Chain A
Amino acid sequence: MSGQKLLSTIGFYALVVVIVVFSVFPFYYAIVTSFTTGTDLFKINYWPRAFSWANYETVLGGRNFVRSIWNSVFIATTTVVFALFLAVTASYALARVRFRGRGLLLMMILAVSMFPQIAVLAGLFELVRFLGIFNTPWAMILSYVIFTLPFTVWVLTTFMRDLPVEIEEAAIVDGATPWIIITRVFMPLLWPALVTTGLLAFIGAWNEFLFALTFTSSETTRTVPVAIGLLSGASQQEIPWGPIMAASVIVTVPLIILVLIFQRKIVAGLTAGGVKG
């Protein structure tokens, strides 16, 4: 009996190790590659052998990649601030006020968040051209509203529903208007939810590729995913794997750190966006 138990414990931990190795190995290998240069790249290294910052210097020395990082930071931040601003008031109304058609409205918002982005590409392309914002950050900021806004509204609505009724009732008795209730009563309670939702929306905007690829035409306006996706060498055969891996590590490390810090909150936010209900 105890032998069998030992065996199943070993089996369980073996499974755990397999899961961890599978999850982490590709990123580990990208880091190893990013510190490798020259002909060492073409030997297969399981462990870091050389240690050189040359690839990082190549990537950060070229002005376009740094520019792309700033583009991405600006676009993602502006999008998130805008989405949260619209979402806080809207989700208060959706979570706390009873009115006809509320269910239908929420259903529509959920449906929009599941939209295939390609379905609006032609129409958005026209809109972007019409507004004269093609090949500027504003084209992305405009188009990212389509997935950040429904997501933030949906998640904040589920968060706000769970806040106790008593707080609001006390405020109403004191004669507070809905605006005062949101800004003075709910906002302080909502901070954790806002940070989580904002972070998830930020990651979504940071990673977006289709719109950024279609609405930019010059290297200086590219966002990070487009810059990495289109990073190529002098010829097709000469793909600069070292610099690509360095660029990948640069844009991924901050995300991973943020995600690990906010782990629990993110899991809660993700499940609220996915299966709550």
Chain B
Amino acid sequence: MATNTGGLSLTQQRQRAAFWFIAPMLAALFFVAAWPLIRTIWFSLTNTALSDLYGGEWIGFDNYLSLRILESGRWIWRGTLVDPAWWNAVWNTVRFAFVSVFFETVLGLIVALVLNAEFKGRGIVRAAILIPWAIPTIVSAKMWAWMLNDQFGIINDIMLNLGLIDQKIAWTASTETAMYAVLMVDIWKTTPFMALLILAGLQMVPRDIYEAAKLDGVNPVKVFFRITLPLIRPALAVAIIFRMLDALRIFDLVYVLTPNSAATKTMSVISRENMIDFDKFAYGAAQSTLLFAIIAVFVSLYIWLGKVDFSGEGQR
């Protein structure tokens, strides 16, 4: 089989070429991903300041947690892990991630089922749902900030006219509603993406299954829960975890829609704030390292649950 060229077998020759093809990409990824990550973790173990990046000293895990026992016998815990602002951000992020992904999945499923049906104007619906996805996040944040404006916002006007509320709400400013505002915009913007991922799963379900069920006179609701849902479960699981990872690292929408609101501040927002704005560079680095650890767990879950075919052999 091997056609020898210059003493190397064809396979060897191809493997050597492959190495040189992959090396530049790996070098680039090391340079922009691996190395900065290592440096971030390193910074989190020092007391480096933003203004003097090379003047930091090793302080071990003090940014995460440290204990000092005073002479009076009092114990004083310090560090991110006992910082209420950090735990507030963790709670905000987790709440945001679960609620938004839940609604995006349910609504995405509905939209996907609609798009999977055959009807006149399907192309228009598909085009329409791509619009929220195509709009940059910052632009969506501004558009919705305007629509949710307390004085002149159209959302308040619509809700007043429908009798859903009896006075105007300061959606983005008030601490009770700020999270709803962020959730609203994120669900609006990301449901299309979810719908498209689920639709891809739906389209892999063979049509004849539905026809057989129809012939047998099975109730459509039953068809959905007994046939469709089990069949698209793998695709659904992967889509949910994929979205979850995105939701856990959310930064831009929160930063622009509800600036400086403790009710919505997420892990990414608080880390950057400490790092860049508050001159607690190393402390912020410790917080971002914690976020990285949390997301790493989810990534492992994704790879495990998704059973992604890395070898490229078999299955297909």
Q: Which A positions have Cβ atoms within 8 angstroms of B?
A: 12-13, 15-16, 19-20, 22-24, 26-27, 29-30, 33, 41-44, 46, 86-87, 89-90, 92-95, 97-99, 102-107, 109-112, 114-127, 129, 142-143, 145-146, 149-150, 153, 157, 161-162, 172, 175, 177-179, 203, 206-207, 209-210, 213-214, 224-226, 228-229, 241, 244-245, 248, 251-252, 255-256, 258-260, 263, 266-267, 270-271, 274-275, 277
CB <8 Å contact, A145 and B17 = no
Interchain residue pairs A-B with the least CB separation, the first 5: A123-B36, A123-B39, A93-B18, A103-B310, A119-B292
CB distance from A93 to the nearest CB of B (A): 4
Q: Which B positions have Cβ atoms within 8 angstroms of A?
A: 5, 10-11, 14-15, 17-19, 21-22, 24-25, 28-29, 31-33, 35-40, 43-44, 53, 110-111, 114, 117, 119, 121, 124-144, 146-147, 149, 151-152, 154, 157, 188, 192-193, 196-197, 199-201, 235, 238-239, 242, 245, 248-249, 251-252, 255-256, 267-268, 271-272, 275-276, 281, 284-285, 288-289, 291-292, 295, 299, 302-303, 306-312, 316
A244 to B11, alpha carbons, bound, how many Å? 58
CB <8 Å contact, A214 and B193 = no
CB distance from B36 to the nearest CB of A (A): 3
CB distance from A86 to the nearest CB of B (A): 5
CB <8 Å contact, A143 and B32 = yes
CB <8 Å contact, A95 and B288 = no
Known: A114-B302, A116-B268, A127-B35. 7 other contacts (CB 8 A): A23-B129, A86-B25, A95-B312, A97-B18, A115-B37, A126-B36, A209-B255
CB distance from B290 to the nearest CB of A (A): 9
* A102: chain B residues within 8 A (beta carbon): 310-312
CB <8 Å contact, A26 and B197 = no
Q: Which partner residue on chain A sits nearest B250 by CB separation?
A: A116
CB <8 Å contact, A119 and B288 = yes
CB <8 Å contact, A116 and B152 = no
* B17: chain A residues within 8 A (beta carbon): 93, 97, 177-179
* A93: chain B residues within 8 A (beta carbon): 17-19, 21-22
CB <8 Å contact, A149 and B28 = yes
CB distance from A16 to the nearest CB of B (A): 6
Q: 26 interchain pairs (CB within 8 A)? A: A16-B121, A22-B188, A23-B192, A29-B146, A29-B154, A30-B146, A43-B152, A86-B24, A86-B28, A90-B24, A93-B18, A107-B303, A107-B308, A111-B303, A114-B295, A117-B251, A121-B288, A122-B284, A125-B53, A125-B275, A127-B39, A145-B28, A146-B32, A207-B137, A229-B256, A252-B136
- A124 in contact with B32 given A97-B14, A277-B306 (CB within 8 Å): yes
CB <8 Å contact, B197 and A271 = yes
- A120 in contact with B36 given A274-B238, A275-B197 (CB within 8 Å): yes
CB <8 Å contact, A210 and B272 = yes
- A252 in contact with B139 given A20-B128, A209-B251, A210-B251 (CB within 8 Å): yes
CB <8 Å contact, A214 and B276 = yes
CB <8 Å contact, B143 and A30 = yes
A15 to B119, alpha carbons, bound, how many Å? 13
* B144: chain A residues within 8 A (beta carbon): 26
* A229: chain B residues within 8 A (beta carbon): 138, 141-142, 252, 255-256
CB <8 Å contact, A150 and B29 = yes
